[in-house]
Amino acid sequence: MSVSHTAAAGGQFIAGERVAAGRDIIHSLCAATGEPTGHDYAQATPEEARSSAQAAAAAFPAYSQTDSARRARFLNAIADEIDALDDSFLQLAHLETALPLPRLQGEKARTSGQLRLFARLLARGDTENVRIDTALPGRKPLPRPDLRQYQLPLGPAAVFGASNFPLAFSTAGGDTASALAAGCPVVFKAHSGHPATAEGIALAIERARLAQNLPAGVFNMIYGDFIGAELVQAPEIQAVGFTGSLKGGRALFDLAARRPQPIPVFAEMSSVNPLLLLPNAVKARGEQIAKDLVGSFTLGAGQFCTKPGLIIGVAGEDFDRFIGQLTQWVNAAPPQFMLHTGILENYRQGVARWDRHPALRRLAQGKSADNQAASRLYQGDKDLLLSAMDPVLQEEVFGPLAVVVTVADLEELLVALDHLQGQLTATILAEPADLPLTSPLCRRLLHKAGRVLFNGYPTGVEVSDAMVHGGPWPATSDARGTSVGTLAISRFQRPVCLQNWPAELLPPPLQDANPLNLLRLVNGEYTRDAITGNTPD
């Protein structure tokens, strides 16, 4: 296939070929003006969606058997190709998303960086999770067989790209990187908000695949606004990664559950990311917190899934003063372009709903401009946090908007937290003098969020071994995983136990000699040593 970037109409990436049988066209548009950028893409037909899944399935037997070192080389090669993309690619991404070039440069580096992080994980051998219980033939009353457990890839994975991160949560983003690292071929459904950006990254992945001589079908990409159901229902697909709205994630989850063979859906969906401001913190540094907090929830036009959208504090003069400072900063906030006109319209509809709500009062509105989003701050009645009948404060409004709620005391705050749904993040801003109050708060927040912060802002998500970007429903569809950090690979693996296998047939991770020098749990103890002929008593 040709890997040169072209402005001509393009099609799907299926089994190493470009395919465009469909007549419906997705137009790449300038996010700021709505004008065409000159890049058009044929939407996938149902047959093409099924073909992409079949191509991934055809690649699975060979790709799943590649060793960790080879998959690491593939991921590093993709990272190299992404790093080599020039300014013309970033300019195109800027046109499609209205994101500033420094943000896109940082996101490009993050995308290649997380690919290299998974490559290092593979090089360490941490993905195998080997557990071995050697045979106890003399055990009474029954002997124990030889049991050896390790991880296998689930199978072909369907990945849906996010709108708000056109690189780091998109074509070669965390879901794709972790699935490929696990040994799972990928069918990626490009987001229609940035189709040309997706094409540029897909071409980079294909160049890396060809250079590494990996099977066609290891990576496939399709375009289409209404093709997701066909992809999820394709029998070859064995897992789904999704980043987007609660409505979209729930629809995919339900589709996957209704299949003759249900499959897991790892969906990141909705979070209001509560931030608790404790009394001594607001007294000591309320003015600085107000400035920083507005900067956080308006960052990138509020288009971060970890935007702190719910601000809760204890009643008093200091908190009243803080609300006034928040109001001043929001009123001064400049207007911002959003990722595309559809997101802007959804934001305006959300604002209209909040303006009509009798228990919400608008405190501030930032500067406005045509085709741009104005920041907003609301004050909500505390009873909204306690009502299961009115979920307005539990529903994310995607954009530069936040609500502040005042509670009477710590007890009321604890009751409010008990009523919160699952979150990606929860934040506590506190001084040392507040710490005696925080223990009961922490106990609740640990059960509500995937990441709990002290004295920081959640809009920075570090890509690392320890990061968790997940949380209980509706933040995600499966609270046991993460979509950021190396633990993300576990979503696309399953454990398998080999019982009494002949030594000649054991895969390298399970062999007595430990040729990969893995850290393994052998008879209850972690060791890198080879297994000798002796068995435990």
Tens digits of residue pLDDT in 257-275 = 999 999 999 999 999 999 9
pLDDT tens digits along 191-222 = 999 999 999 999 999 999 999 999 999 999 99
Give the pLDDT mean for 145-167: 96
The amino acid present at 131, given as its one-letter code, is R
The amino acid present at 361, given as its one-letter code, is R
pLDDT bracket for residue 9 (50, 70, 90): low
Task: Judge whether 308 lies within some domain.
Answer: yes
Contact 134, 523 (CB under 8 A): yes
The amino acid present at 312, given as its one-letter code, is I
Longest dimension (CA), the chain: 81
Task: Judge whether 507 lies within some domain.
Answer: no
Task: State the pLDDT at residue 89.
Answer: 97
Task: Judge whether 406 lies within some domain.
Answer: yes
pLDDT bracket for residue 429 (50, 70, 90): very high
- Output the domain CATH number for residue 124: 3.40.605.10
Residues 298 and 350 in one domain: yes
333: CB partners within 8 A, 6+ apart:
294, 298, 366, 367, 374, 375, 400
Residues 259 and 317 in one domain: no
Nearest-angstrom CA–CA distance, 274 and 269: 16
Task: State the pLDDT at residue 391.
Answer: 87
- Output the domain CATH number for residue 322: 3.40.309.10
414: CB partners within 8 A, 6+ apart:
440, 441, 444
303: CB partners within 8 A, 6+ apart:
163, 164, 338, 339, 343, 398, 399
Residues 349 and 204 in one domain: no
The residue to which tokens 């080389």 are assigned:
73
Nearest-angstrom CA–CA distance, 240 and 243: 10
- Whether 30 is catalytic: no
Conformational region of residue 455, where left means phi above 0, alpha means psi within -120 to 50, and beta covers everything else: left
Answer yes or no: is pLDDT of 348 > 80.
yes
Task: Judge whether 466 lies within some domain.
Answer: no
Nearest-angstrom CA–CA distance, 514 and 51: 40
Nearest-angstrom CA–CA distance, 438 and 454: 10
Task: Judge whether 514 lies within some domain.
Answer: no
Task: State the pLDDT at residue 1.
Answer: 43
Angle between helices 279-297 and 317-331 (to 10 degrees): 10
Tokens of 53: 């899944």
The residue from 81, 268, 345, 431 that is catalytic is 268
Task: State the pLDDT at residue 325.
Answer: 98
pLDDT bracket for residue 534 (50, 70, 90): low
The residue from 48, 206, 236, 305 that is catalytic is 305
Residues 310 and 444 in one domain: yes
Consecutive H or E run containing 376: strand 376-380
Residues 222 and 256 in one domain: yes
Residues 181 and 117 in one domain: yes
- Whether 462 is catalytic: no
pLDDT tens digits along 470-518 = 999 999 999 999 999 999 999 999 999 999 999 999 999 999 999 999 9
Task: State the pLDDT at residue 126.
Answer: 86
pLDDT tens digits along 80-102 = 999 999 999 999 999 999 999 99
Which residues on neighbouring strands pair with residue 276, listed in sequence order? 312, 428
Give the pLDDT mean for 90-115: 97
Task: State the pLDDT at residue 389.
Answer: 75
As a whole number of Å, the CA-based R_g of the chain is 25
Lowest-confidence pick of 51-55, 122-126, 154-158, 448-452: 122-126
How big is the CA angle at 493 (ends 490 and 495), to the nearest 5 degrees?
A: 105
pTM: 0.94
Structural domain count, the chain: 2
Which residues on neighbouring strands pair with residue 497, listed in sequence order? 149
Residues 150 and 165 in one domain: yes
23: CB partners within 8 A, 6+ apart:
42
Over pLDDT 70: what percentage of the chain? 97
Query: Is the preceding omega at residue 474 within 30 degrees of 0, hence cis?
Result: yes
Contact 424, 305 (CB under 8 A): yes
Task: Judge whether 154 lies within some domain.
Answer: yes
**Three-state DSSP state, 535:** coil
Residues 251 and 352 in one domain: no
Using alpha carbons, select from 126, 142, 136, 186 the residue that is nearest to residue 160: 186
Across the chain, mean pLDDT equals: 95
Q: Residue 521 phi/psi, 5° resolution?
A: -90, 105
Residues 183 and 154 in one domain: yes
Residues 345 and 392 in one domain: yes
Task: Judge whether 532 lies within some domain.
Answer: no
How big is the CA angle at 28 (ends 188 and 86), to the nearest 5 degrees?
A: 75
Outline where 340-479 has alpha helix (H): 341-356, 383-386, 410-418, 435-446
pLDDT bracket for residue 437 (50, 70, 90): confident
Contact 123, 68 (CB under 8 A): yes
Nearest-angstrom CA–CA distance, 240 and 158: 5
Domain that holds residue 340: 274-454
Residues 234 and 280 in one domain: no
End-to-end CA distance of the chain: 60
- Residue 214 has a CB neighbour count (10 Å cut-off) of 23
Task: Judge whether 467 lies within some domain.
Answer: no
- Residue 149 has a CB neighbour count (10 Å cut-off) of 19
Task: State the pLDDT at residue 472.
Answer: 97
Residues 255 and 285 in one domain: no
